[in-house]
A = this chain, B = another copy of it.
């Protein structure tokens, strides 16, 4: 490999294709931040593969000047699995939406995550089907009025992170489309994580579901609405005047109001730890719901365990050590054979 990548910039990751998103779409900010992070990852451009399904979000690969596959609806994780399992040297990124990844594609998401294959999954959650013009999605709030739910949706939403943790995810995180610095940080963390790293990116769709995430997108209200997770730090949020913390017992979360200057840990506030072996702690965080609780942002869980691709390569290598590199001649002649001589 050449090391020309050291001089790459975000611009090198831009294609000449006209971008087909609506003005104001959150996808623009995500794209810009992904393009900004790529050059820092120490990987030659030709070793990146972006894989997507179908949806507005899934147009992403067309705008990334890397290798890319814009596939079929819901199946991106399965394609990505094939890419990574056959070529662990590649850096493989899945871009998907709440419909693509969690409606038709929920099963591939589930199994990809549980296998812990070493890819990054960016789930753009705008809580709506953008490309097909505004039907409710599996993350839409109950009661949402859309073209397909004129009387209000009656489907309870899935939380993408609770779902991922239910599948045993080793890395889950949540980011906000417009908070570029934080998003970039999580993208780097996801890349560094060995195993499936899933980031839910809260994304605004100004056309079909405007302001769905306004509370946390807005810098002001974010202070009270979001809980920024920092490894080793107590679960504290809110402005200086109104600091609060979260305690967790028996999986039950409570908000603890903190007095000015009070030590949160002494007050019973839990301390964030990304590396608990059990996913139960991260699941408790993922179960926090507005408006009673703040929305946690950041890395919920990051535990290391062997990846599917490494185990697979290991079996191949191990088999060669144990049995020797395969010989087709020997294979064909294995077991019982008999020879008919020239008459």
Q: Which residues of A contact B (CB under 8 A)?
A: 103-107, 110-111, 114-116, 138, 151-152, 154-159, 162-168, 248-253, 270, 273, 276, 278-284, 287, 305, 308, 311-312, 315, 318-319
Contacts and interface: CB of A to CB of B under 8 A. Distances in A.
A151 B318 contact: yes
B156 A114 contact: yes
Nearest to A246: B250
A282 B152 CA distance: 30
A154 B308 contact: yes
B280 A155 contact: no
- When all copies of this chain in the complex are counted, the total is 2
Contact of A319 (B151, B156, B250, B311): B151
A107 to B, nearest CB: 4
B249 A278 contact: no
Given A251-B282, A280-B283, 4 more contacts: A106-B107, A110-B158, A154-B315, A283-B284
Nearest to A272: B250
A270 B248 CA distance: 13
B270 A280 contact: no
Contacts of A103: 111
Contacts of A111: 103, 106, 138
B252 A281 contact: yes
28 contacts: A103-B111, A104-B107, A106-B106, A106-B107, A110-B158, A111-B138, A114-B156, A114-B157, A116-B156, A152-B315, A154-B308, A154-B315, A155-B308, A156-B168, A156-B305, A159-B168, A162-B165, A163-B167, A165-B166, A165-B283, A249-B249, A250-B270, A253-B280, A278-B284, A279-B287, A280-B280, A280-B284, A280-B287
A99 to B, nearest CB: 12
A196 to B, nearest CB: 10
A166 B165 CA distance: 7
A3 to B, nearest CB: 33
Contacts of A282: 251
